[in-house]
Amino acid sequence: EVQLLESGGGLVQPGGSLRLSCVASGFNFSSDYMTWVRQAPGKGLEWVANIKYDGSEKYYDDSVKGRFTISRDNAKNSLSLQMNSLRVEDTAVYYCAKGVGVSWGRGTLVTVSS
């Protein structure tokens, strides 16, 4: 059974940083693209970034480009999202997803507020 467990969310001030992690199990992690998707309170799904199975290609939504960095450690079945220069509008539940949305974690809440 595919399991994705996100962690690292919390309350941070505007301009601050946070690092999200996602630990995967139940599938061959090193063979799959991985994706971060977020959902602001009461809003729809918004793609953030994804990364090729070997980390050689990374793609970002324009709204986070230059501020967020996606990475992975295939030896640890782990996906990360380093978030810098956070803004109020980055407040959302952040989901880790297998592929481009085949399986999803339960999400971790990031709140950016002063």
Partner 1 sequence: QAGLTQPPSVSEALRQTATLTCTGNSDNVGYQGAAWLQQHQGHPPKLLSDRNNNRPSGISERFSTSRSGSTASLTIIGLQPDDEADYYCSAWDRSLSALAFGGGTRLTVL
> In this structure, are residues 101 and 35 in contact, taking their beta carbons and an 8 Å threshold?
yes
Candidate residues 17, 85, 102, 113; the one interacting with partner 1 per rule CB under 8 A: 102
The interface region with partner 1, picked from 7-15, 16-24, 81-89, 100-108 by CB under 8 A, is 100-108
- Number of Cα atoms under 13 Å in the Cβ half of residue 56: 5
Told to check if 103 binds partner 1 by CB under 8 A, we report yes
Candidate residues 91, 104, 109, 111; the one interacting with partner 1 per rule CB under 8 A: 104
Instruction: Give the residue with the Cβ less far from partner 1, 35 or 80.
Output: 35
Told to check if 106 binds partner 1 by CB under 8 A, we report yes
Contact map string, positions 48 to 67, toward partner 1, x by CB under 8 A: --x--------x-xxx----
Q: What is the DSSP secondary structure assignment for residue 28, as one 8-state letter?
A: -
Candidate residues 79, 95, 110, 112; the one interacting with partner 1 per rule CB under 8 A: 95
Told to check if 111 binds partner 1 by CB under 8 A, we report no
Q: What share of the chain is helix, strand, coil (3-state, %, to 5)?
A: 10, 50, 40
CA atoms of 80 and 72, how far apart (whole Å)? 6
CB atoms under 10 Å from CB of 74, counted, come to 16
